């Protein structure tokens, strides 16, 4: 009796196992989308770097503080910079044109003396020449007077050149020292790290007393109200992505909710290590609360079709074949696919019944 009961149970189980699932071809809408993972980033988010090396002297903000463009984040001290500034101040004061007018006046006095002497020697030479033409005096006296006049002429021209050189040199050194002081003052500004945008201090990576260099990230600053999505799209799908496409987003931070965004930027350069492209999207609505680096899962909608023939994806054999009643294999042409269904372009009609392939 027990043996017969066991046979009946086995027959029933085998019948259940051999029971084939059947479905009909339906007419519905289908949406093709591309999956992408990514993160949320604050708009205009950037890492702040100092342009100089030194020790952090003072920190003026804290993490979570709002900050205005041009507002100081922290200051850096450097003994070398301090000495350079003091030296530039001393040099500027010492070489100032107003403080060196004595040299210019001395050169001008010498020039005037030589000009007066030249005028006097010129008059004496003219007189001696007139006398010599009248055969008064000697040729030696005339030649000596001529030589004195020529020497005075050379001395005057030399004094003029010297005066101009002194004046030009004083002005040049004065202007140069002022420029060096301006450079030193500008460099001093490099020792104060300022915000480039109106935003929020999301992170401070260094504290007072720590050494920083030009390669050291110091802070993360970004917009506190506007955010973007950064998504990684596989190279096989990137040609389907276009600006303006809708992105459906889910986040662990908002479980059970979906949000929409629009593709705003496609980075044309592929990341060779991950074989992906960076795609950015902007939220369609103001988000209630977000933080940078929150992870997201996104579906980028490539295209949508209405009133098309659809079958479940798991009813498809080898991507192009289905089983009709009596296990008749039929070749079909497929179109769009989503995670559950596939579009039938040809080979089947609405309400045709097909069999689900058995799992071997």
Nearest CA-CA partner of 249 in 285, 303, 202:
285
Q: How far, in Å, are 44, 59, 230, 269, 301 from residue 279 at the CA level?
A: 16, 36, 6, 11, 13
- pLDDT for 99-130, tens place per residue? 667 777 888 888 889 889 889 888 888 888 88
Q: Give residue-wise pLDDT tens across range 305-335.
A: 888 888 888 888 877 888 887 778 888 888 8
Confidence bin at 231 (pLDDT 50/70/90)? very high
Q: Which residue has the higher pLDDT, 151 or 92?
A: 151
Q: Rounded CA gap, 197 and 192, in Å?
A: 15
Please tell me the distance from the alpha carbon of residue 210 to that of residue 187, in angstroms, as a whole number.
Answer: 20
Per-residue model confidence (pLDDT) at position 172: 77
- CA dihedral (99, 103, 105, 107) in degrees, to 10, reads -160
Tallying the residues shown for the chain, one arrives at 360
The string of pLDDT tens digits covering residues 10-47 is 444 444 445 668 887 788 888 888 889 999 998 888 99
Strands 46-49 vs 217-222: parallel, antiparallel or unpaired: antiparallel
**pLDDT at residue number 189:** 61
Both tokens of residue 144?
């000596």
pLDDT, position 82: 62
- Residue 283 contacts by C-beta under 8 Å, 6 or more apart in sequence? 227, 228, 229, 259, 260, 261
Band the pLDDT of 263: cuts 50, 70, 90: very high
- DSSP 3-state of 215: coil
- Which residue would you say has higher pLDDT here, 329 or 82? 329
Other beta carbons within 10 angstroms of residue 227's beta carbon come to 21
């Amino acid at each position: 009796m027990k043996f017969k009961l066991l046979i009946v149970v086995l027959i029933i189980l085998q019948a259940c196992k051999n029971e084939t699932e059947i479905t009909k071809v339906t007419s519905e809408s289908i949406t093709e989308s591309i999956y992408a993972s990514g993160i949320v980033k604050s708009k205009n988010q950037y890492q702040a770097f100092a342009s100089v090396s030194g020790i952090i002297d003072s920190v003026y903000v804290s993490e979570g503080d709002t900050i205005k463009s041009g507002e100081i984040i922290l200051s850096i001290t450097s003994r070398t910079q301090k000495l350079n500034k003091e030296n530039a101040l001393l040099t500027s004061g010492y070489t100032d044109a107003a403080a060196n007018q004595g040299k210019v006046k001395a050169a001008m006095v010498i020039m005037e003396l030589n000009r007066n002497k030249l005028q006097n020697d010129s008059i004496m030479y003219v007189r001696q020449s007139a006398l010599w033409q009248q055969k008064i005096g000697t040729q030696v006296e005339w030649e000596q007077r001529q030589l004195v006049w020529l020497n005075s002429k050379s001395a005057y021209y030399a004094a003029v050149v010297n005066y101009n050189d002194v004046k030009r040199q004083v002005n040049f050194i004065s202007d140069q020292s002022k420029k060096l002081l301006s450079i030193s003052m500008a460099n001093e500004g490099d020792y104060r790290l300022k915000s480039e945008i109106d935003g929020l201090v999301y992170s401070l990576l260094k504290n007072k007393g720590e050494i920083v260099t030009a390669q050291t990230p110091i802070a993360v600053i970004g917009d506190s109200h506007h955010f973007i999505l950064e998504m990684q799209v596989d190279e096989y799908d990137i040609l389907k992505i276009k600006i303006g496409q809708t992105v459906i987003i889910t986040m662990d931070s908002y479980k059970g909710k979906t949000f929409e965004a629009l593709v705003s930027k496609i980075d044309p350069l592929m990341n060779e290590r991950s074989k992906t492209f960076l795609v950015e999207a902007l939220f369609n609505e103001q988000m209630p609360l977000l933080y940078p680096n929150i992870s997201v899962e996104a579906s980028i909608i490539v295209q949508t079709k209405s009133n098309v023939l659809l079958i479940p994806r798991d009813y498809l054999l080898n991507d192009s074949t289905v089983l009709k009643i009596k296990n008749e294999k039929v070749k079909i042409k497929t179109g769009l696919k989503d995670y559950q269904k596939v579009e039938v372009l040809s080979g089947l009609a609405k309400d045709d019944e097909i069999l689900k392939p058995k799992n071997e």
